Structure 1
Amino acid sequence: MVGIGPGSKEYLTPAAGTAVAEAEVLVGGKHALGLFSGLGKECYRIGRSLEEAISFIEAARQERRVAVLLSGDPGFFSLLPRLRARLGEAGLRVIPGISSLQLACARLGLNWEDFCFVSVHGRGPEGLEAACATPKVAVLTDPAFTPAFVCRYFLERGKKFRQVWVLTDLGLPGEEVTAVSLEEGAMLSGRGNSVVILLGEEAGRDSGQEEFGVLTPGLPDELFVRGEAAMSQEEIRVLVLCKARLRKGMTVYEIGAGTGSWTVEVARLIAPGKVFAVEKDSAALALVRANLEKFRISNVVPVPGEAPGVCAGLPPADLVLIGGSGGRLREILVAARGWLRGRGLLVLTAVTPETFGTAWQILHEGGWQDQEAVLANLARVVQRGRTKIWQGENPVFILRARVQGGGTDDD
């Protein structure tokens, strides 16, 4: 029994790869078999009849080494119990894999040992009843019992959740991560291959809640919902936002919002001002929305799409923050001169000398004044065996400039 994880080679363990290579016959679903199509192995595709598949496995293993490919981890809502009951323990070897729940919680930066786990995938909704009494719920769905069905189930029973995420096709090219309310989730279409994460009002309230009232920048990194999108470190955010000279009531464009850590920090400090958070990656934008909900931020407008084009028609800005340019740095810096009103500032970060050099050159080609740059080098104390050492972090360039013709900070 080989756990193949979410279904991409990126998350396939070495032990799983070795077991498949040593097998003579592979048994699994269409996608699972497709991962190993180049090995030239005999394959049996599991169809609608699990009984037929189990009978094939039982016969084939008498003379050949058979690898049954199971998505996620074999010990988490899989065929393992049925196969063990039918085939017995003798000659049965289980190779663990990364479950969809593990990957979902990793995307969101959540611990998962205290969740109530429910699978309606091929099983029906019976297990959902017990979840109504728990504050942290994870549900595995399928095309018959979709995320919308799950959300409607809880709505109809009066269950309230303060945060809901739908994570679809995790680890695959079309991965989607969406933060919704129960009402919004009930309106979703399709997305059967999902994990639905639901947190009640009482879930996680004692973790870092005292930080929500802090008025200075530099919220701890661990408070943010995390995914694969890049997130600047706490100390870098402090320096960047101090360079930004934030004021109450500002209008801010954030280009390349990533996970939304800058978004949250800026919005808290400039309220009732407004942040327009521009992000072209849908999964990253979902994380932005999740963090806005977590920190109860209401003065941010998420803007899906790519700068500079999507910024057309937005109100004039007092500040432009650039955390990522998507390869369009020159276009964005040129356009930013027109976005900023008088005294407007631009602050950007770069992690490579090439990006810094390009930005520094463009900022001196005209239209900008008061250009400055700093290079931030951080090191942290980390445990190594019995001692502690300094571990350096990647240096970050921070550039700032004022649109030409503006005043100074002291005007």
Structure 2
Amino acid sequence: MIQILGIGPGTRAWVSQAVEEMVHQSDVLVGGQRALKLFPDFKGESYRVSGNLAETLETLQRVLQQGKKASVLVSGDPGFYSLLPWLKREFPQEEIQVLPGLSSIQLAFARAGIPWQDAELLSVHGRPLNCLPLHLSRPLGVLTGGENSPQKIAEYYHTYDFNPQISLGNALTYPEERWLNTDAHQLMDLEEDFSNAVMILYPENPEDKSAQSLLSLPKSFGIKDEEFVRGNVPMTKNEIRIQVLAKAEITPSTRVLDVGAGTGSISIEAALLAHRGCVYAIEENPEAQELILKNQEKFRVRNLRLVRGSAPQALQEIPPMDVCIIGGSHGQIREILLQAPLAPGGRVVLTAVTLETLAHGMEALKSLQYEDVDVVSIQAVRWKGIKDIHLAQAQNPVFILSGRKGII
């Protein structure tokens, strides 16, 4: 049998009585140096392990072959970004008993004096920071670690022009405990060492209940054209817009760049789909810029940033993106693709209404070694009812090119 025992934050006062009893019923204790020191009176064998999982695996295999009952000590709770999934995978035939412990996330929310049943909980230890949602609709608890310090997390949000309020707890329950209430802009400039930190990030507008509910999001994409505020600026029609968004493969956390955003119809729908991510809309036409802002206000989109200017010049200050949608290029498709801050593996979707733009787009994607390049030609026809008959109203044909940026 393997027992996985959660020892909580790491001080004796927070070790449960059930864990104490289980330890003394064990033949062998396996854990880190700090965990083993919590039980100085243990009479059995103790094996100190580091972060080397291969070493831990070898130790447990040897103990089990000897028929001994082993207890693995883990900080926090075994089932929350800890060893439980790994042990179940490595020892599928063994009986595994789990005793929970108090996680630092629970302790942080208690320190902050707020409920955590509706919060989102993540760890960035050994994970890329783009797993963090940019637009917060509910509190976010984050376990930090490795290279992803609290300052790095704050800098990540600052890069995308978000400034959430933050509560930070370091070395909770220890004599050197530090508790700090700040925001991303202030935290990123601190030089303190927060090596054992947990963070709570708060929504920018917690009182806006509609923004916190997924029910406020559209049931599907494809907003009717007449729903948008219109002017004299061309707008991507509903039928084409749906295909462009489908080719973009937008997920809730996607970071989208919309070049030549026009009235903002694609930007608005992309922002609603990527409600945990963000959209940067680049547009040089002053009338179109105002239409984008009006549509942003109408649809209550908070994760859209308007960039006034033309590409590729306006791309210099844009942070890394997952998807790049190009509607207007002024014949500079290749230059835009070269300057666009698209992450490796990111998607590009380009629309063209002329054969020349199509040819330039194909050549640019090919020469820049984009993968999975695809071309679709669409001509939508709407049938308008006039008295007892319906007449065709053909829209201009549109080419939709898409591809994926190579990893190398």
Could you tell me the TM-score, scaled by structure 1's length?
Answer: 0.47
Asked which structure has the greater CA Rg, the reply is 2
